[in-house]
Amino acid sequence: MARTKKIKSAGRFGPRYGRKIKERVIKIESTQKRWQKCPYCKANRVKREAIGIWQCKKCNKKFTGKAYTAV
């Protein structure tokens, strides 16, 4: 059996959907899951709670933003 490259978070799809769509999923998920910058305290401590809802873990502010990035 041939070896394949690791496909990061899109590996859960297996052989379905094609390479280009999986690359888009990887790009979107990697930006939405990393720490974002807080517009209030300027710290990189913002995490996504739901679609468009973000919360800073430092100053505890909850605010709305874009779906995949905070600002």
26 found inside a domain: no
pLDDT at 6: 72
* Residue ranges making up the domain that contains 68: 36-71
SS3 label, residue 45:
coil
Give 17-51 pLDDT, tens digit per residue. 999 999 999 999 999 999 999 999 999 999 999 99
Structure-token pair, residue 53: 């809802």
Here the CATH number for the domain that contains residue 65 is 2.20.25.30
The answer for residues whose C-beta is within 8 angstroms of residue 29's C-beta and 6 or more apart is 9, 10
48 found inside a domain: yes
Look over the chain and give the mean of its residue pLDDT values, rounded to a whole number: 90
**Mean pLDDT within 2-24:** 85
Beta bridge partners of 37: none
